[in-house]
Structure 1
């Protein structure tokens, strides 16, 4: 046992491993419950909207005039309603962490992370050991950054596809001389979808977020590769000095990334005030 290391180091290490296992389980449950909640809300909202539109359209236009629309709307309504009640059934019969709501799991995950950090601080590991542990966490950090970047990139591409295709489709439908009532409704829906996609894209700035996340991931990977290969700026000094320099550079990159996120979260007129 190292000098200065607490006598119950092995027990605390086992506790840290238990924390990591618990955090992993909570994180998986949180992702699944978040997805279930999103699907339940989307399917329920779609079912209500389709039912309301179905009733109004049939009363205003008549069944025969929108027979094709009914053939599409009714199966989609049944599928949406079935999905909603299916998710509700799964949630009601879930066990363990999966019975909790997503916001409860988020709070529990944050508490578990804090408890893990407290136990890690009490372990009293030497600085070089903590630096090695920090270096070993870099691949997970890269995976998280790139995963978030891909998520924002998919959202941006989907919104852009709606804007491009919706603009073309709306123009084509509106160009008809005598637009029948069903096509008028389609034109209104397409115009609304295009405006909503453009608004969400401008407000949430998905493209910029994806770009900055990918840029940060590339910079962190560049420093990690330079450290592993012993090339500049990690070609001089001992192992301890090189590890300290690596941790410093990566923390600076993380700070820059947080500043960028704060800038993107600010209103347009006030974004320049965040440095």
Structure 2
């Protein structure tokens, strides 16, 4: 089958855009790694000094005229030794000539500047090498399964959170009744009752504020609707039974974007207080 005349240009455009995306992804990972390195580089000596101050404070205010317990002294010595070794090792790696780190002695702001420049370069190149509308619509259709998988993954996450909260409420509520019945009067178990009541209050408030059950339902519903439209487009059935593929793709992209906009609106409504939700509805 002969290739279209513009196939090499299209391939070059695709390769260039992929190269830009790889460069941006690499810079983002380098920024994350560098932040961790800087955090460890300055965090470990600060933690070492804080440990010394804590040890000195405990000695002055609690054990001024006596010796500290041997177990506590051993814990402080062990943690201090670890922090000291970690500090020396990180500074040695940072300032060595053959550092295994990719960006030693490089400020994070310089990497962020490189990232901003790379993103600007990608935008300019994308504008100059923008593929035709039909190709973008085909690419949009091919990216949809990943979006559906993401929505279902988030839906499963919120569903697990909701189930965990519900089981925690069940167990703690039952435990309160059991402890109260076992200890009558409940003086020996007063601390346990306070802790269980605190857990029930916190979990109930968190479930009412974050609404994991509603979020899971909305995400699953949006994913199912997207998959239904993708299947209809693939099979060429209504509402994508037109003989013109470009018309079907245009209608498909419009419908999916409408579904995504509705999902974002539902998420915003869940993030608002109850009074604000009634006003929006």
| TM-score, length-scaled by structure 2 | 0.64
1:15 is matched with which residue?
A: 16
Please name the residue that 1:144 is paired with.
150
The structure 1 residue matched to 2:269, chosen from 230, 247, 263, is 263
How far the C-alpha of 1:171 sits from its partner, in A, is 1.6
Cα pair 2:10 2:131 within 8 Å, conserved: no
Rg: which structure is higher? 2
Does 1:161 pair with 2:167? yes
Match of 2:139 among 122, 127, 133: 133
User: What do residues 31-81 of structure 1 show as CA deviations (whole Å, max 9, x unaligned)?
Assistant: 999xxx9xxxxxxxxxxxxxxxxxxxxxxxxxxxxxxxxxxxxxxxx9xxx
Q: Following the alignment from structure 1 to structure 2, what is the Cα–Cα distance between the partners of residues 162 and 221?
A: 34
For residues 168 and 33 of structure 2, the distance between their equivalents in structure 1, rounded to whole angstroms, comes to: 27
| Alpha carbons 2:155, 2:217 under 8 Å: kept | yes
CA-based RMSD of the aligned residues comes to 4.4
Equivalent residue number for residue 40 of structure 1:
none
1:215 aligns with 2:215: no
Counterpart selection for 2:204 from 187, 198, 211: 198
Whether the 8 Å contact between 2:176 and 2:196 is mirrored in structure 1 is yes
What is the distance in 1 between the residues matched to 2:116 and 2:262? 23
Residue 186 in 1 paired to residue 192 in 2?
A: yes
Gaps of 5+ in 2: 40-74, 94-99
1:224 aligned residue: 230
Deviation at 1:121, TM superposition (A): 3.3
Alignment length (residue pairs): 223
> Residues of 2 paired with 1:110 and 1:143: CA distance?
29
Structure 1: how far apart are the matches of 2:114 and 2:151? 23
Equivalent pair of 1:23/1:112 in contact (CA under 8 Å): yes
Distance 2:269 2:248 in 1: 32
* 8 Å CA contact retained: 1:262, 1:274: no
Of residues 156, 169, 184, the one that matches 1:177 is 184
Name the structure 2 match of 1:244.
250
3-state SS in 1 of match to 2:231: helix
